[in-house]
Each structure stands twice: as structure tokens, then as C-alpha cells.
Amino acid sequence: MSSANGRPSATLIAALAAALLAPIEAGARECTEPLSAIFERVSPAVVSISSVKINKGKPQNRFTTVVGSGFILDAGGHILTNAHVVDGATGISVTLDSGDRAEARVVGFDPVLDLALLKVAWHARLPSAALGESAKVKVGDEVIAIGNPLGLDQTMTRGIVSGINRVLPDVPGTSDEPMIQTDAAINPGNSGGPLLDRCGQVIGVTTLITQEAQNIAFAIPIDVAKAVLPQLREAGRVTRPWVGIQGQMVTASLLGLLRLPLAPGFLVEVVEDGSPADKAGLKGGHLSVSIQGEEFLLGGDILTAINGQPIKGPEDFKEPLRRVGPGQKLRLTVFREGATREVTLTVADRPRLPYDLPAD
């Protein structure tokens, strides 16, 4: 577009200027704050947690002190940390960045996700950490961890996101929720502390290191924590639908090698006592076999469909369970001893585990 004298119009000039400046403005929105400035801004919201645990079975040296980290969520004194830091504690104290100490109580506790919500009563307004969005995290993003490794207060380390959606089913104390993998230095005492993005927002809760390798650590995505925080705050625990079965998919190798009445689907290996599955009459396995390095407990039911939808893979089994809550019904198609039958069960609320802490 040009004016009557052949020169570019003001509208065209403005459009060209906007197009040229757009990359500059986008770059300006990137977080370029010095790491030292991020530390000064966020570290006041990071606390050291000391919990005293007692082993009643030992005649001497029964008391153990566990040191971990946490971060303040709001001015009212709610603190997020790992469940394993305070699990079984007879007393919990929190040391603030200022050096002041306060007793803390457990408000909510979830051993499955390894999260605990604490509360401290404080006479002054407390600083809080800003929560980000772990769904936006990408491999290669720079991250920062602040915590108390080996009791060294307010230590900051840096690294990158090494992987996302890491599921560690063979590691004790982990759930099947995907975690963030990082090479930022994490050590005992960091547990429960924040993993921050380059803008200083919390994108994860540091929770796990592997003893067999170096520079491999994991954090619970903050989106997972945010999803359960209301339940931890209000109910003291996370309500989960409970069916009460354990097992695995029937593999092609299993079908091909064994001359047993089998069908594709989910093999029920264990039925938990008193569970909805137990009350519905589902049967677990009793014959242990190992085939090509895979172990199976055979002789139990095989679930071939849930609510009429065939079970062809692990997600076909997990997804329907994610969509139901306590009190709702599931219609299961069960293959047993060469015959198929329909079983309906009522999903229950997972009962408290022996190591669940009650909310005060």
C-alpha cells in the first residue's frame, strides 16, 4: 500500500516495523535474569526440614534425624515437601532462610506421589515460591535446584532437563506418574526442594536420585502436585479409585508357548483381600512360571474388556480406571477356564495405608 505520491503509507510502515521488532520483543520476554538474582529472590521461600523418627524395635540409638528440603506455597505457612522426609516422624521442625525455626505439623500426606503438605504457624508474612507449569518443560531446558544437600543450607545447583515423562516402575517408592529427569546435582537433603526453570518458577519437586549412576536425578512435575494440593489441604490425603488387582498384560510369547486356556487381555495375578475385586469374586493366580525372562503368576482370571471396550494394551486397562471414582461401577469381561463371563464391581476409595499420616 502506498500514498498518492508513491511513498509507502503510514500503515505499511507501521506493519513493517512491527514485523521487524517482533523477534526482538519475543527475545526480550525470555528469562535472562542472572542466576544469582534468581537465588536471592527464591531462596527465602526454601526451607530446611528436620524430622525425628523412632525405631521402636531397636534397644539403643532408636532416634534418627532425617534432613530434607521444602518450599513455602503461601504467606499462611503451607510448605510442600516429600512424604518420605516426614514419614513416621514424631516431630518436625522447619528452619527458614533467616535461620529462625518453627515446629511444623502435617496437613496432608500422600505416599504414592511422595508428597506431603506441612503447616507452620508464623507471626509474620512468609515469602512464597511461584509455581510454574511442568507441561511446558522440554528436554534441554536449563533448570536450577535449591535445597539442603547433606545439611548444607541453601545450596543451589544447575543443570538441564535430561528427560521427561520418565516412569520408574522398578524403583521402590515411586508411582507410575511420569517424572522429570535432570542432571542438576541432587543429593540426600535435597528431597522435597524446588526444581526451578530459568525464570525462577517451580516446575518440579526433587525426590529421587539413583545410587547406581551419576548425574541422574528425578523430580515430581509440579502440575501433578498442583492437581492434588486441594485434596491434601482439605482432606489430608488423596482420594483414589480402588479396584484391588495386580497383574500384567498377556503377551504374545505367553499365548504361543503355553498350552493353557488363555486369551489376550490383562492377567489378574493378585486380588487384594477385601477389595472390590475380591468382593466381586475375581480370582488371582497360583502358578509361578518364567518365560524368556518374564515372570507370570498363572491360573487367575484374564480381563478381556472393560465396559465393553477390548483390552489390547496397557492403556486400554489403565485409561478406564482413571475415569472412574469411588462409588462408580465397572463392567468387566472375564475369561476363566476357557469360558467368558460378565462381572460388575463397585469401585471403592483406596483405604489408608499403615504409613499414611493422619491430618491434624
Cβ 67 vs Cβ 50: under 8 Å? yes
Containing H/E element for 354? Answer: none
CA distances from 315 to 75, 166, 302, 321, 335 (A): 41, 16, 16, 10, 19
Q: Is 53 exposed, middle or buried (0-12, 13-18, 19+ CB in 10 A)?
A: middle
- Residue of 43, 134, 162, 191 marked active site: 191
Residue for cell digits 509474620? 124
CB atoms within 10 A of CB 245: 26
**Whether residue 84 lies in the annotated active site:** yes
- Residue of 50, 51, 69, 84 marked active site: 84
The angle subtended at Cα 347 by Cα 241 and Cα 247, nearest 5°, is: 75
Residue for cell digits 502506498? 2
**Whether residue 223 lies in the annotated active site:** no
Cα–Cα dist 176/213, whole Å: 21
Q: Where are the beta strands (DSSP E) in 251-357?
A: 266-271, 287-291, 294-298, 302-306, 309-310, 329-336, 339-346, 348-349
CA distances from 283 to 246, 255, 298, 326 (A): 11, 19, 10, 22
- Residue of 97, 110, 114, 197 marked active site: 114
Distance of alpha carbon 231 from its chain centroid, rounded? 15
**Whether residue 114 lies in the annotated active site:** yes
Question: Would you name the residues annotated as active-site residues?
Answer: 84, 114, 191
